[in-house]
Structure 1
């Protein structure tokens, strides 16, 4: 099943979700409202990057595995496309209705920044707004620089100046959220007055829930679950926005079959949601199993918990910096869904992903998703993580469900895009002025 323009196909439902989720927000800071622009041919073309596909991967130990591929926009190759297109569409509607300018400010581990930049460029290219009416400033940690991709927002001098990429070199990647939030809180009002623009901080769960309802809507229309057994949805997660969006779509618009079950896959660098799921909502890393070094294999090993890697090169490794959120506020909601409806979670290691790499590559290849033969070429591990995680969980008898859908949220390698270097970025720190100065310079143009 291929759905070429999911957001246009489900435009009324996405609009309804926005109004229900955000219609009475009561926020004192700027938002562009909840309305989307009229679905003109230009808007349809803008939204055309929201392609999704569902296909079988095959069987593993009697379990039917399928893939919901959300990575089909070549400008991002991640599921962040969907929410970013909806966010920017709301900004477009505000600009067209009022004539006011909008500047989006987004902290990100990388993929959201890429998707927001792609959506802004698509809106400009489609003629929905001009480069002087809409721009975006993103803040990313230095560890994610290799994931940022070049586009006209970098190669065109005016677009480059209007749409800066800021980078933070500190040790804690999640600090980019604090930097962006503090800048808006301390300098937002003054910046808006001096630059004559509206600053919009878009890191809000509801912005993502509204877009991700298309997952549940497409499932209900094109690949519904059987009525006599539960379906398990698997996702590599940092905050699980995608699964929460699917669950909200089921809740709001209904769907056939039994209630959906959800399975979280994380890595050792940010395992908080899995820890919380199995330890009464606590995020304390003291709940991690104790690893011991095994000289013969060169691995660290543990046999206490089937929900954590059996082997790892380093108990503190960061497998992929995309997943950087600690103590996510979404955990209680996800815990409740899993405890009430079913599911679970595991944490995977690089060693486990490498051990299964050929097997995972074969399964994904059967589903039409090519994976580089050399794992060192991968720049985004989330899809490999998700498949590795569910295969481990099946082997460990953690998965009673026979119908399993893996949400393909991101997959790209060296050569899939032109990279951006640190020289193309503006370095910022935790002080009050560095990001302010970057945004002021971009918006004053």
Structure 2
């Protein structure tokens, strides 16, 4: 953390913008080392917990980790603040933070051992984009070359429109080294099983044959350490929580970000004297599992309220459970394919936290999001967040979902805390990026179909070795 003089310049301001990872690099390093000692997947390869020193090249690399805390207008007497974690123009999502730290660990390993690293990541879309952006940034900063550091991404077919184009897909050699594979199976979460099965069957053989370690990246520890910056920013840039509590609201699939914030509390100066944070989960109807578990101790969709079609409007309605939308286009609708995880293991941690410390959760519908959209757009504009005037241009709905959930919860009396810190985890529109051309994507439903893509990526070094993109 910087000097007291620098801290005082930011503290408690209506808007504070910081280079989050470089500002808290030493503390993030401690968090990585502590998480590495208690890894959830101890048998897999990892590059270790070491981070490279904060030299000029690493500082350039970390420029994408800018974050902000912004005071917004109140909503019906509730003080609203935004923790803006989507300021990297190369991703517009909070996945930037975990991705930059993970790739930095890979860089430190490559420097230490000389062995190349190939990341293998299943993703609903945003994680793949962020890791690819971090790999490209490492190349451009001179931290590793294209033959030392690579990534293979596996995403559901329905997320194809969310994949950001970049030199990793437009340059033929980089495209070979860093392929994106779409999975056409009926369950989008099948990308995890596909990538996991492939890793288990082939990682050792690939390392022997091609001299590159394969790193399966889907481990909560890889994200929690980076998300400690959320708690560090809160401690430095916000006043203490009010007597009635500060609620942390987040649109979630597995709530990795909130668990990272909770983990980060142990690295703040307040220690045990800090007020325990209250968390509020926002989900959509297709995967409301964490909210169901919180409400009923059971993520089964049988616990959802029954919706009735109203013929005169063509909309479905329910009035029995205020935690679920009163009105929806369909009871099983998908607002955003980012939220695809069913029965996440993280509920086993998040549900007890909320029950012990306070908080809650709601499920929102697209109909509610569209109804609130103009109001949310105007609320966010002073924070420098420009949502498109036409919601049909939006490709990442996390930010709109969480604000819709908070407002609905206030209106229904489900949220009574005097202050809400909204974790702005993602928002981007058609105008922010170009999708990867379908001709530049691969397709695999089984490990055998994934194998030739991976072996091409890990194959012999090209004549371009050392050239920066």
Question: TM-score, normalization: structure 2?
Answer: 0.93
1:167 corresponds to = 182
Cα deviation, residue 189, structure 1: 1.0
Which ranges in structure 1 are unaligned for 5 or more consecutive residues? none
Contact 1:224 1:257 in 2 (8 A): no
Paired positions, count: 443
SS at match of 1:373: coil
Contact 1:102 1:198 in 2 (8 A): yes
Query: More deviation in 237-246 or 3-12?
Result: 3-12
SS at match of 1:229: coil
1:32 corresponds to = 47
| CA distance, structure 2, for counterparts of residue 373 and residue 98 of structure 1 | 51
Query: More deviation in 377-386 or 292-301?
Result: 292-301
Structure 1 residues 195-249: Cα deviation after superposition (integer angstroms, max 9, x where no partner):
1100000100111110000000011001133453310000000000001101111
| CA distance, structure 1, for counterparts of residue 53 and residue 386 of structure 2 | 37
| CA distance, structure 2, for counterparts of residue 191 and residue 125 of structure 1 | 27
Give 1:69-88 correspondences, 5 Å limit.
69-88=84-103
2:390 corresponds to = 374
1:418 corresponds to = 434
SS at match of 1:127: coil
SS at match of 2:121: strand
1:265 corresponds to = 282
Give 1:425-440 correspondences, 5 Å limit.
425-429=441-445, 431-440=446-455
Cα deviation, residue 435, structure 1: 1.2
Instruction: Select the residue among 25, 40, 50 that pairs with 1:11.
Output: 25
Structure 1 residues 366-388: Cα deviation after superposition (integer angstroms, max 9, x where no partner):
32211111110000000000000
Instruction: Select the residue among 78, 86, 89 that pairs with 2:104.
Output: 89
Contact 2:164 2:435 in 1 (8 A): yes
Cα deviation, residue 422, structure 1: 2.1
Is it true that 1:177 corresponds to 2:192 in the alignment?
yes
Contact 1:226 1:257 in 2 (8 A): no
Is it true that 1:390 corresponds to 2:414 in the alignment?
no
Cα deviation, residue 293, structure 1: 0.5
Instruction: Select the residue among 126, 130, 145 that pairs with 1:115.
Output: 130
Contact 2:242 2:418 in 1 (8 A): no
1:54 corresponds to = 69
| CA distance, structure 1, for counterparts of residue 34 and residue 202 of structure 2 | 30
Cα deviation, residue 257, structure 1: 5.1
Query: More deviation in 377-386 or 5-14?
Result: 5-14
Cα deviation, residue 289, structure 1: 0.1
Contact 2:68 2:84 in 1 (8 A): yes
Contact 1:265 1:347 in 2 (8 A): yes
Instruction: Summarize the Cα distance change of 1:124–1:345 in structure 2 as closer, same or farther, 3 Å threshold.
Output: same
Contact 1:229 1:258 in 2 (8 A): no
Instruction: Summarize the Cα distance change of 1:339–1:254 in structure 2 as closer, same or farther, 3 Å threshold.
Output: farther
2:223 corresponds to = 208
Instruction: Summarize the Cα distance change of 1:330–1:226 in structure 2 as closer, same or farther, 3 Å threshold.
Output: closer
Cα deviation, residue 124, structure 1: 0.5
Contact 1:4 1:48 in 2 (8 A): no
| CA distance, structure 1, for counterparts of residue 318 and residue 38 of structure 2 | 49
Which ranges in structure 2 are unaligned for 5 or more consecutive residues? 1-14, 461-469
Cα deviation, residue 106, structure 1: 0.2
2:304 corresponds to = 288
Over the aligned positions, Cα root-mean-square deviation in angstroms equals 1.2
Cα deviation, residue 398, structure 1: 0.5
Cα deviation, residue 362, structure 1: 1.1
Contact 2:252 2:282 in 1 (8 A): yes
Give 1:232-311 correspondences, 5 Å limit.
232-255=247-270, 258-280=275-297, 282-311=298-327
Contact 1:236 1:266 in 2 (8 A): yes
| CA distance, structure 1, for counterparts of residue 276 and residue 333 of structure 2 | 35
Contact 1:230 1:257 in 2 (8 A): no
Structure 1 residues 166-206: Cα deviation after superposition (integer angstroms, max 9, x where no partner):
00111110000000000000111111111110000010011
Contact 1:228 1:257 in 2 (8 A): no
Cα deviation, residue 253, structure 1: 2.6
Contact 2:85 2:426 in 1 (8 A): yes
Is it true that 1:354 corresponds to 2:366 in the alignment?
no
Query: More deviation in 222-231 or 109-118?
Result: 222-231
Cα deviation, residue 360, structure 1: 1.1
| CA distance, structure 2, for counterparts of residue 310 and residue 225 of structure 1 | 35
Instruction: Select the residue among 340, 350, 375 that pairs with 1:324.
Output: 340
Cα deviation, residue 149, structure 1: 0.7
SS at match of 1:262: strand
